[in-house]
Structure 1
């Protein structure tokens, strides 16, 4: 028998109405599956709240489908239903186990990889995300050596060349070049740590990537305005997307910066935003511009589900309303609204609004040194990537053509 704190149907519907996410027809389907789930828990003497996990869902589906022929699409309703029931428990404040066990990323298994990771973090100043990426690259190299019956102790240029040729067959040139950069870094580490005696780094050859061979990664400012105007702000999802896209457009934020914003980072009294750049592991303060403040406040009041456990500002619009986890979520939001706005561009990645902001800044006369600081570039020369897309500025500085 379920404990007294088990939410009733009225409690469930009240929470779903507060979230403004579950429609009436969807609620009927969810309640149907919740009823089956509760009968399952009663039959086996299980506590409902304890079974609201990914493993508990699997056990319930196995029990339900044991003697039935059930389509996978039909069972998908059960997953959504139990996630929505979890949301109710979160709302009323009753403790429940995590949806899935917390997965701790294992430490590097060998001494050389542990020392290399420490070298990258402590001496090179690389953030954790970069350290993980480089360890993954080195792992591929060590796997290649292992297939040849060798280890890093037998690392030589022919083996490095063979490894990178194999990478070139599987990955894009830019990815292979990135892996080659890691191989150089690892070779230098092996040398300075006394593990090898030959300097291999300078002889590592990577694919040649022309600096500006890719499509321009910015939208004309008129298209940015069309993109923002195309967002339907009559829905909770639209309010979230509009606030997110406006912040990226106004400040030139990257995807990692905007999805990393948390509620405590907004100082409404001082009108500031405390931002964090995951790539460089640097925090910085931005002014909370009045138009951004209005849009952000509207989203937080009327779009973001109430009593959401995460402190991240931008969340998924389905239970359990977790934070947006990756830049791919931002890319999908941009592509969705660009399609609605009728914008066709060769590049619509998660950083397109950052590039658009940079081009706009150059067009209105922002100095390159200032723009470099605003965008968080360590190398001021990085701004040169935006000069080719600031077409208005180029027109103003172009020289007359002699006749």
Structure 2
């Protein structure tokens, strides 16, 4: 028997005590537990203490050998620890609060190891780790709505949130229940959360100061509470005050039925919403709409909001579409749509504003570092500069679009939604591979190549790319009309023009459907324009 149970033989040197230990139930489970602790590097004295405590834990919890896997609650462990601390028997360790606490700690650890601990306790441990002590965990799962709370923590863990964020959320959930006075699950309105956050933030409790410290408690309470209630579909967002909202929603559904993209729907939503607010401020309505009101609105955009000619023209196009729909539904006077005119736009009237190609190269090279964010951004910059892509074409790139065997890469063009295949340049491929292997959160299971660096690991947004690209240009003192990733696209087109690449080739490279769209870059063909300027015109003109 001693050869079969080497850990107990090593830890219990007295033969009489050893025989008593061998007679206690769950011998194999105890031996496996001690062996696992030994492999973790725990000291011999620590292992001896656990070996001594385990028989008493088994006796007081009335655990037996067999197939029964009934779980033990924390209440049962507390009762056993209390009985242990007040009883007298030979070999009992010194009585003290720390001894009782150690009994509870060893019992919980061992029961978790043999899968006999209360499932609620185990789920809490797995979801958010140690909530400071067993008392905090007990408080967590004894509070109301355990299943609704723990399911959200498990969702956060699956989304890749850091353990400390999940632990903080668990504590905020308890405060939310208290300060929102939740006795039953119900819809919670935004103003209630605001009031609860204010009340909690002004309650100077030891628990709050200990857990929250110097973080912005008010915003933290709101953020964690709102997201938890959203997960439960119990959050009532503040109603957005949009005049004639039903008409707006009806129009958006109409353009969707005509094949409008989600991007078009979103753009028209903000565009028409602002126009409807303008009508309300003027004391008018769709039924009283006039061309003079429409002209006044576009002029206000141009003068007060400093919108350029192109933006105003796009707004006029959107308003014409909206007014035509109103006429079709007989919700406004007839004939207005035909009277809406765009501000005059001069063909090829503006030079594309783009940085020097050397500046773009410098930005790309500067991001070739070992920092995780730089590794991701370097791969993005390589795509933007080599293939002159639009920002949306980068963020919508999927893993399946990369054919490593054929060494090709496919992009879905933003304007026409059609796929376009390019050769995968070695430098670009290496940058993407480095990002996927070293930085990308592959455990997220997303099909998109570029993901956020922090949980939840969603597809990267155009705003995120704009922020870091524009910052690089501004840090170098580059003056541009428009900062952001599209400036790199323009720089790439200008660079190709200046190096003698044909317009047809550039048009295909950029994904333009019409050659006239590409022809604008011919105006910045500085190399050939300088050649024209250097011609000796004297003999030609005389």
TM range (shorter): 0.7 to 0.9
How many angstroms apart in 1 are the aligned matches of 2:271 and 2:503?
Answer: 34
Cα deviation for residue 164 of structure 1 reads 2.6
CA distance 1:214–1:35, shift in 2 (3 Å): farther
Cα deviation for residue 315 of structure 1 reads 1.4
SS in 1 for 2:466: helix
CA distance 1:209–1:308, shift in 2 (3 Å): same
Contiguous gaps of at least 5 residues in structure 1: 13-30, 87-95
**Is the Cα contact below 8 Å between 1:217 and 1:348 reproduced in 2?**
no
Give the counterpart of 1:67 among 188, 204, 221. 204
Cα deviation for residue 152 of structure 1 reads 2.5
Q: Are 1:385 and 2:520 matched, yes or no?
A: yes
How many angstroms apart in 2 are the aligned matches of 1:223 and 1:118?
Answer: 44
Q: Which structure is higher in RCO with an 8 Å CA cutoff and minimum separation 6?
A: 1
Match of 2:400 in 1: 264
Match of 2:500 in 1: 365
Q: Report Cα offsets for 1:286-307 as digits up to 9, x if no partner.
A: 2222221111111100111230
Match of 1:225 in 2: 361
Q: Could you state the TM-score of these two structures normalised by the residue count of structure 2?
A: 0.56
CA distance 1:60–1:330, shift in 2 (3 Å): farther
Match of 1:173 in 2: 307
Q: Are 1:41 and 2:140 matched, yes or no?
A: yes
Cα deviation for residue 234 of structure 1 reads 0.7
Measured on the aligned residues, the alpha-carbon RMSD in Å equals 4.3
How many angstroms apart in 1 are the aligned matches of 2:528 and 2:150?
Answer: 61
Match of 1:306 in 2: 442
CA distance 1:193–1:5, shift in 2 (3 Å): closer
Cα deviation for residue 220 of structure 1 reads 1.8
**Is the Cα contact below 8 Å between 1:218 and 1:389 reproduced in 2?**
no
**Is the Cα contact below 8 Å between 2:493 and 2:521 reproduced in 1?**
yes
Cα deviation for residue 147 of structure 1 reads 4.5
Cα deviation for residue 245 of structure 1 reads 0.4
How many angstroms apart in 2 are the aligned matches of 1:138 and 1:219?
Answer: 34
Match of 1:288 in 2: 424
**Is the Cα contact below 8 Å between 1:61 and 1:75 reproduced in 2?**
no
Which structure has the bigger radius of gyration?
Answer: 2
CA distance 1:253–1:159, shift in 2 (3 Å): same
How many angstroms apart in 2 are the aligned matches of 1:351 and 1:72?
Answer: 42
After the TM superposition, which residues 8-157 of structure 1 pair with which residues of structure 2 at under 5 Å, given as runs? 41-42=140-141, 44=143, 46=146, 49-52=150-153, 59=173, 65=201, 66-68=203-205, 74-75=215-216, 110=246, 114=250, 116-117=251-252, 119-123=254-258, 125-148=259-282, 150-157=284-291
Match of 2:379 in 1: 243
How many angstroms apart in 2 are the aligned matches of 1:396 and 1:315?
Answer: 46
Cα deviation for residue 244 of structure 1 reads 0.5
**Is the Cα contact below 8 Å between 1:223 and 1:343 reproduced in 2?**
no
Cα deviation for residue 252 of structure 1 reads 0.6
After the TM superposition, which residues 334-349 of structure 1 pair with which residues of structure 2 at under 5 Å, given as runs? 334-338=469-473, 342=476, 344-346=478-480, 347-349=482-484
Match of 1:187 in 2: 323
Match of 1:4 in 2: 122
State how many pairs are aligned: 366
**Is the Cα contact below 8 Å between 2:470 and 2:485 reproduced in 1?**
no
Cα deviation for residue 358 of structure 1 reads 0.9
SS in 2 for 1:387: helix
Q: Report Cα offsets for 1:22-46 as digits up to 9, x if no partner.
A: xxxxxxxxx8889998576246263
CA distance 1:296–1:386, shift in 2 (3 Å): same
Contiguous gaps of at least 5 residues in structure 2: 1-73, 75-119, 157-165, 179-199
Match of 1:26 in 2: none
CA distance 1:315–1:112, shift in 2 (3 Å): closer
How many angstroms apart in 1 are the aligned matches of 2:491 and 2:133?
Answer: 47
**Is the Cα contact below 8 Å between 1:191 and 1:197 reproduced in 2?**
yes
How many angstroms apart in 2 are the aligned matches of 1:212 and 1:72?
Answer: 59
Q: Report Cα offsets for 1:242-297 as digits up to 9, x if no partner.
A: 00000110101111110111222222222222322334333322222222111111
Cα deviation for residue 170 of structure 1 reads 4.5
Cα deviation for residue 393 of structure 1 reads 4.0
SS in 1 for 2:485: coil
Q: Are 1:161 and 2:295 matched, yes or no?
A: yes
Q: Report Cα offsets for 1:348-400 as digits up to 9, x if no partner.
A: 32211111111122123222233223222233222233233442343345572
Q: Using the TM superposition, name which of 307-316 and 146-155 deviates more.
A: 146-155
Cα deviation for residue 150 of structure 1 reads 4.3
**Is the Cα contact below 8 Å between 2:248 and 2:273 reproduced in 1?**
no
**Is the Cα contact below 8 Å between 2:351 and 2:520 reproduced in 1?**
no
How many angstroms apart in 1 are the aligned matches of 2:386 and 2:280?
Answer: 50
